[in-house]
Every structure is written in C-alpha cells, then in structure tokens.
Amino acid sequence: MLMKPAPNPLDALIAGLCGRVVDQPDWPAIIALANQTLLTPALFASLEQAGRIGDVPGDVRDYLQFIRDCNRERNVRLRLQLEEAVATLNAIGVAPVLLKGAVPLFLSQTVPDRITSDIDLAVAARDEPLAQACLEQLGYVGVPDGRGMARDRDVGVLELRAYRADGLGRPKLVQQGKLSVKIPPAQSRALHWIVHDLLKEGDYWRGRIDLRHMYDLAQLAESEPIDWATLRALLAGRSARNAVEMQLLTLHRFFGTSIPPGCGERLTIRFQHWRRVFASCHPILGAPLRLAGNLFWGARRFSRVHDLARRNPVHLARRIAAVLLNKDLRSKI
C-alpha cells in the first residue's frame, strides 16, 4: 500500500491558520516556517478557536502556547505605548491615523495574537513637526536607520509619517474612552499592504510572499467588505494592476478569499502566481526562479540608483548583494 506523502510545510501551516490539522504533519518544519513568517501565535490561536488544539502533540502545543503568551505580553506593552502616544497627540488637537498592525492593537477588545513589529501612525503633513516634537518630549529619539523613533524601555519602534490620501475614502474618526484616532477604510488598509509588499519591496517581480500580510488581508476581507475591482482600477500601470490580481489569486488559493469573477485568468497573472507558490513550496527547485526574479527586480531599479552609486557606492554594492543573496527577506518566503 502506497503511503500518502506528507504535505509541504507551507500548505500545512496555511491549513493550521484555517483551523485544520493535516495528516502526517511535519511539526518541526511547520513551526520553523511559522516562526519565520511571524505567525506562530496566530497558528495556536486559530487551532484553539477551531477546537483542534487537542490534535496537536503535547510538546508542540506547549511551545505554541508559550510563544502566544509571550507575544500577548508584548502586545499589552505595545498597546500601552500606543495609547500614551495617542493621548499625547490628542492633547495638541491631533487624532492620528492608525496604520497596519496599530489598527487591531487599538480596536481589539482582547489582546490580539498578531505579532506587530512596530507602531505606525500618520498625521497631516502640517501637523508632523509638532507631533514629532511632542513625542520627543516623551523621550523618543530617532533610531539609527532613520525608520522611526524608540525608547529603551519600550518593546517596539514608533513610526510617524505624513498621511497621504489614496482616493479610497477618508479615515473614520473613532473614539475609545478618552482617546481619538482615525481608522482608514478597509480598502485603504488592503491597498497599503499590497503596494508596500508587491511594488515598493518588489515581491511581485521577485516572487516572494509575506505570508503574515497575506493572512492579514484574508482576515480583513472576511471581516469587512472590500471592493477589489475598485482597488485594482485605482492603480496606474499594468504591473500594479497585475500585482493586485496575483495577490488576489494567491489569497483565494491559500485562504479561500472571495475574489471578483474573471480575476487572474490571464496567463501572465497565473504564471506569476504559480511561480511564487512553487518556489515557496519547493525552495531548492525554485531557486533559479527566485534568482531570475531578483535580477529582473534589480534591473528595474537600476535606473533609480545612479545618485546612490555616486554618493555611496559601497552601500549600493551591499544592497545589491543583499537582494541577490536573499539577505533582505526578514519574514518573507
């Protein structure tokens, strides 16, 4: 009798995030992938909510719960940090716009299980200097790489930026106790994740997947209606629109997210979808595809780096090496 092959770790992890335990799971590989993609607490929470956590071996269950509990403790501290920053900005008449992981951190009635890397806030461009000065009075100082501000006693970096309208509706004012914030519409939040990952960081060309953001999109689409067709039409350029369709096709394949009829039917979209899923499921066999994607991404950006090459050729060389050697992936697969 032929043995059924064990599912690859990516499919097994996705099943777990959907509250299912696959047959013959390779738990060390699943945990390694969950840790890499920052989804370990979400994996435990999904299986617990679905009533399937009892199907997990005891040592694996204990590990998953330990990571979940540690992350909840960290999120409690992040929430207090966020509330302090919001209160300080409210005191000068500014209700900041919450971005990315700051939204569930603020709105959730319980401590969220999402691993949040930092706290992202936005204010009107005219308010940014005053808002930054107020945060500096709380002890925040700029971090060395220039991406945000931090304090020694905190567990996360706070990023403050100027808010840019995207044409998908104005942020909604939300009050919680004495605190006031603005929450962008669901479509704006979805657009932010897609543009950041696929276009700004080049995942569309490089064939990479930020599985944590993919899971965020799936949960967002499940909780709030999103007009994907309008979101796609808003983007200028064929590559940007193709990137949205590819992301939707992958969302449907991974999490069963409902997508518009006809989405992803073109051969280009289906190939891009297949390429990154295949390379993620089979890293060794997919290595040539990844290398080709990195080279293509580098070629697209080459015309924009002449200034950097002239000012800091060593830094440019390091960036090129990081891309080609996949040293800049962080939580991506």
The more confident residue out of 301 and 73 is 73
Q: What's the pLDDT tens digit per position in 214-242?
A: 999 999 999 998 989 888 888 888 889 99
Q: How many CB atoms lie within 10 A of CB 59?
A: 9
- Radius of gyration, alpha carbons of the chain: 21
Element (H, E) at 175: strand 172-176
* Encoded tokens for 302: 């080459």
Neighbour-count burial for 149-167, b at 16+ CB within 10 Å, e otherwise: bbeeebebbbbbeebeebe
Q: What letter represents residue 243's amino acid?
A: A
Question: Cα-Cα-Cα-Cα dihedral of 190, 195, 197, 202, to 10°?
Answer: 160
Mutual angle of helices 211-223 and 238-255, in 10-degree steps: 80
> Domain 74-184 falls in which CATH fold?
Beta Polymerase; domain 2 (3.30.460)
Read off the pLDDT band of 305 (50, 70, 90). Answer: low
Global pTM reads 0.88
Does residue 2 register a pLDDT over 50?
Answer: no
Read off the pLDDT band of 314 (50, 70, 90). Answer: low
Helix/strand/coil (H/E/C) assignment for every residue in 48-85: HHCCCHHHCCHHHHHHHHHHHHHHHHHHHHHHHHHHHH
What is the distance in angstroms between the CA of the first residue and the CA of the last residue of the chain? Answer: 35
pLDDT score recorded for residue 1: 43
pLDDT above 70 coverage of the chain, percent: 88
State the greatest distance between any 2 C-alpha atoms of the chain, in Å, as a whole number. 72
Q: What's the pLDDT tens digit per position in 128-156?
A: 999 999 999 999 999 886 679 999 999 99
Give the residue carrying structure tokens 């569309």. 204
Distance between CA atoms of residues 215 and 220, nearest Å: 8
Per the CB < 8 A criterion, the answer to whether 297 and 206 are in contact is yes
Q: What is the mean pLDDT of the chain?
A: 89
Q: Which of 165, 80, 66, 61 is nearest to 119 (CA)?
A: 80
Answer left, alpha or beta for residue 162, where phi above 0 means left and psi between -120 and 50 means alpha.
beta
How are strands ordered across the β-sheet holding 97-99?
141-142, 149-150, 157-162, 118-123, 97-99, 179-183, 172-176
CA distances to 191, 197, 221 from 214, rounded to whole Å, are: 12, 10, 11
Q: Where does residue 22 rank: exposed (0-12), middle (13-18), buried (19+ CB within 10 A)?
A: middle
CA distances to 169, 171, 189, 191, 199 from 165, rounded to whole Å, are: 8, 9, 12, 12, 18
Read off the pLDDT band of 189 (50, 70, 90). Answer: very high
Where are the chain's structural domains? 9-56, 74-184, 187-324
Read off the pLDDT band of 175 (50, 70, 90). Answer: very high
